[in-house]
Structure 1
Amino acid sequence: MSRYLSPRLVVLAVLASSFAWVLVFPVRLTRPPTPALTVVYGAGLVLFVAAQAVVLRAAVSLDQPRRTRLRAISGLVVVALALWWPAFAWAEPDRTPWAWLAGFAAGAAVLAHPAAGAGTAIGLAAAAAVGAAVFGGSLPVNVAVVLGIAVALWLAGLVLVWLLRLLAEAEAGRAAEADLAIAQERLRVSRELHDVLGHRLGIIALKAELAGDLVTSDPARAAAENEQIRELAATTLAEARRAVHGETVADLATQLASAELVLGSAGIDTAVDVDASALPVGTSRLLAAVVREAVTNVLRHSAAQTVSITYAHPTLRIVNDGAQGDPTMSGTGLASLAARCAAAGARLVAGPVDGGRFEVRVELAP
């Protein structure tokens, strides 16, 4: 099969071709008396085909309301009845052109709305019986043609309509899966950028403030701080780009080293008691994100003088002595981090503890 043809198009083509025969029999079985009437009759048949296409579209659509389906069926019945007199009056001897039209109309109607379609089939069969009585045709033959064609098309179309709806649902499922993948990627990028930018920008702001204080008292050290700010800004930009492209690789050991350096630069005494070498990669990255968020919050929101980071399986604790100024779990960073931990089977708790301290605690799954 060509890669440009979808399965739905193929099934739609088969369904349309099944009902396209409606043009063949009425044309071959009737003989309008003049060329002008032939054109009028042909226009009526084209209108019938268009009305039938509307009904079939309603039959294969998942979102068509009941009122729309009934309107489409009503339009098809009106066109069929408009062709009743010419089809009977201009029919070849012993031929039943209108019964063929009525059978196709009934078959399409049943596919679009079974209850209304059944009523339509009975009504059109009755109209065929009246035509046979008025124009001297065979009543049993006309009724049998209407109902026989309707049942045959309904059975054949039922499988095709079911298959079309199944394909539509499959396509909708693939579209939903793609939307979910996009949403997950956006969430990942948002989380990574929050981790990178929140942490680094806090450091840059702290060093900029320090450099400003040192401009007059210690120009050499102020220049050194400015150089570090430049290097941090370049590093932050590079990490932000890596985060967008999914190339970030933050493990716990790297993050702990960064935390010691940053907190030490801020004049905060830091004690680290963590053995990160035996941790699985996924757990290491999760705990690295917790450390990064906690250190960022210390720099931004607390007046801490000491910070301790300890890990004793299965619990990581980050404690600082600046609880009075620290955020609680209402902060968006810790709240989103708690959700990330929960998704990984861990539990994150943050809040004040005894002694005027603030603790961020992660309890891993045993």
Structure 2
Amino acid sequence: MSESTTARRVVLAILLGNAAWVVVIPWRMVRPPTPVLDAAFAAGLLAVAIVTGMMLRSAATARDGARGRARVRRTPGGAAVLVTLGLWWPAYQWAVPGDAPWAWLAGMVAGAVALALPWTVTAGVVLAHTGAATAGALAFGTSVLTQVLTVWGAAAAVVVMLHALVWLLGLLHDSERARESEAALAVAEERLRMSRELHDLLGHRLTVIALKAELAAGLTGADPEQARAETDEIRQVAAATLGEVRRAVQGETVSDLRHQLESARLVLSSAGVRMDVALEPLPLTAAESALLAAVVREGVTNVLRHARATEVRIRLEATRGGRTFGFVNDDAGGAASGTGPAGTGPAGTGLAGLAIRCADLGATLTAGPTDGDFELRVDLPA
């Protein structure tokens, strides 16, 4: 159980415990003629206390926003008022001379209503109870002023004493809901991170495995030794992929830019694609390095799947506004059909994910044909 939940339950217990005064104070001010009537009157007071406690609890937990007015069911409030009015005659008939049991009861219920229901309803309840107390004073020969002031004073005392508890309980309730929302958001973010990592990793590695499997199949008859070598490389790539999937699931970064460039060079050379790399010695954070590694994976995967490129150029250079990373292949037509921002296949999905990751770091992603080539470009802030 969290500290917030424990605190909320403690405050709720204190709040509901105060509802016991609805029973204790009026009951000590009456003298029913028989034990049966005494028990019946106590049962009526207990019913008022229960529905009053329900009303106060709803006032603190059914809230519209952290500082919003409580939205509660009106049933407990209406029941409390009706039972209170039902106890009007016995409370006045059996009252100890000089005491005002019904006025105390009516005032405490009115105060609870003020904490739970809109002020328009509260005003109606106060007026009804004031009128009933005046009628009781006139009917049973007691002071009208004493009865009315007791109703108002008890209502004010309840509001003053319990307002802070209702507010604190509502605050604790909102805090607990906020923690639950924060935990749910953390889970969603972790799922999104994992899906991105797995897409980047599996999309790239499975393409490599498929390419090498196709190459091995073609070499089986012509060059068995080379076919076996390709098969061995497939096993190595599969084993490495399994390890990196485990790392991704455990929350570790799949790769950084340097390791990804080494992997890309090996894969592209196997496909007969030259790779030219020119990186200026610019500082990169771990998150930026992981992002650029994802760009390289996406670029290599799309080259192998969609383009007929013979050369890939990778650049990192300083610009006036920051740093620019470019991944360019020399087949704009083939790449554009599968790697454009509006692509609907796996490549399009990958670019959409990269765009989100770039935005998270304040960078921008541009993908499209340029001067007969196809370029993935990331502009990083300074």
Maintained 8 Å contact 1:69/1:112: no
**Residue in 2 that maps onto 1:53:** 53
Tell whether 2:331 aligns with 1:328.
no
CA distance in 2, matches of 1:273, 1:132: 97
| 1:188-231 Cα distance to aligned partner (Å, 9 max, x none) | 11111111111111101111111121222222222221221111
Maintained 8 Å contact 1:59/1:112: yes
Cα RMSD (Å): 2.1
| 1:158-209 Cα distance to aligned partner (Å, 9 max, x none) | 2222222222222232222222222221111111111111111110111111
Question: How many residues are paired up?
Answer: 364
| 1:61-82 Cα distance to aligned partner (Å, 9 max, x none) | 3447988544332221101011
Maintained 8 Å contact 1:59/1:69: no
| 1:265-324 Cα distance to aligned partner (Å, 9 max, x none) | 111122222245754433322211211111111112212122111222222221112222
Tell whether 2:377 aligns with 1:361.
yes
Maintained 8 Å contact 1:202/1:296: yes
Partner SS state of residue 312, structure 1: strand
Residue type of the alignment partner of 2:326:
R
Partner SS state of residue 273, structure 1: strand
Q: What does 1:207-286 align with in structure 2 at a 5 Å threshold?
A: 207-248=212-253, 250-275=255-280, 278-286=283-291
Select between 198-207 and 46-55 the one with higher mean Cα deviation.
46-55
Q: Of residues 83, 89, 99 in structure 2, which corresponds to 1:95?
A: 99
CA distance in 2, matches of 1:5, 1:249: 38
Tell whether 2:207 aligns with 1:198.
no
Partner SS state of residue 381, structure 2: coil
Residue type of the alignment partner of 1:352:
P
Partner SS state of residue 20, structure 2: helix
Residue type of the alignment partner of 1:344:
L
Structure 2 unpaired stretches of 5+? 343-347
Residue type of the alignment partner of 1:321:
D
- Structure 1 residue 142 displacement after superposition: 1.4
- Structure 1 residue 4 displacement after superposition: 8.8
Residue type of the alignment partner of 2:94:
W
CA distance in 2, matches of 1:57, 1:346: 49
Maintained 8 Å contact 1:29/1:95: yes
The 1:71–1:278 alpha-carbon spacing in structure 2 relative to 1, beyond 3 Å, is: closer
Tell whether 2:298 aligns with 1:298.
no
Residue type of the alignment partner of 1:31:
R
CA distance in 2, matches of 1:99, 1:363: 75
Tell whether 2:112 aligns with 1:108.
yes
TM-score by length of 2: 0.89
CA distance in 2, matches of 1:159, 1:278: 54
**Residue in 2 that maps onto 1:19:** 19
**Residue in 1 that maps onto 2:358:** 341
The 1:275–1:254 alpha-carbon spacing in structure 2 relative to 1, beyond 3 Å, is: farther
Residue type of the alignment partner of 1:358:
F
Q: Of residues 317, 320, 339 in structure 1, which corresponds to 2:326?
A: 317
Select between 146-155 and 342-351 the one with higher mean Cα deviation.
342-351
Select between 13-22 and 254-263 the one with higher mean Cα deviation.
13-22
CA distance in 2, matches of 1:66, 1:183: 30
CA distance in 2, matches of 1:104, 1:318: 75
| 1:30-74 Cα distance to aligned partner (Å, 9 max, x none) | 222223222322221221112211221232134479885443322
Structure 1 unpaired stretches of 5+? none
- Structure 1 residue 9 displacement after superposition: 2.1
CA distance in 2, matches of 1:315, 1:48: 72
**Residue in 1 that maps onto 2:369:** 352
Residue type of the alignment partner of 1:340:
R
Residue type of the alignment partner of 1:198:
G
Maintained 8 Å contact 1:87/1:98: yes
Partner SS state of residue 248, structure 1: coil
The 1:99–1:175 alpha-carbon spacing in structure 2 relative to 1, beyond 3 Å, is: same
- Kindly report structure 1 stretches of 4+ aligned residues shifted beyond 6 Å: 64-67
Tell whether 2:45 aligns with 1:10.
no
- Structure 1 residue 262 displacement after superposition: 0.5
TM-score by length of 1: 0.93
| 1:223-247 Cα distance to aligned partner (Å, 9 max, x none) | 2212211111111111011001112
CA distance in 2, matches of 1:363, 1:206: 31
Tell whether 2:75 aligns with 1:71.
yes
**Residue in 1 that maps onto 2:168:** 163
The 1:282–1:157 alpha-carbon spacing in structure 2 relative to 1, beyond 3 Å, is: same
Partner SS state of residue 377, structure 2: strand
Maintained 8 Å contact 2:107/2:151: yes
Identity of aligned residues (%): 51
Residue type of the alignment partner of 1:347:
T
Partner SS state of residue 316, structure 1: strand
